[in-house]
């Protein structure tokens, strides 16, 4: 039996529920703290234009092409 299981056996039903609720809260916090992996499939997508435009001009063109 793990230490947690031993401790849980000593608790009243109300306190067991509190422990479970707190553990769920911690588990959800853990999910949120994981870094989001970004897709980088756009990298190099406009490299054919790098000799035609500066980075600022290319940014403006990209906004035009997207319709923004």
C-beta separation of 49 from 61 below 8 A? yes
Q: What is the pLDDT at residue 21? A: 94
pTM (2 d.p.):
0.44
Q: What is the pLDDT at residue 32? A: 67
User: Hunting for tokens 């992996």 — which residue is that?
Assistant: 37
C-beta separation of 8 from 16 below 8 A? yes
pLDDT averaged over every residue in the chain = 85
User: Hunting for tokens 């500066």 — which residue is that?
Assistant: 54
Of 65, 18, 13, nearest in space to 42 by CA: 65
Mean pLDDT confidence for 8-13: 94
C-beta separation of 46 from 62 below 8 A? yes
Q: What is the pLDDT at residue 65? A: 84
């Amino acid at each position: 039996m793990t230490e947690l299981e031993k401790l849980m056996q000593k608790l009243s039903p109300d306190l067991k529920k509190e422990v479970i609720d707190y553990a769920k809260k911690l588990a959800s916090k853990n999910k949120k703290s994981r870094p989001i992996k970004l897709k980088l499939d756009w990298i190099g997508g406009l490299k054919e234009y790098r000799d035609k435009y500066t980075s600022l001009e290319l940014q403006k063109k990209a906004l035009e092409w997207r319709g923004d």
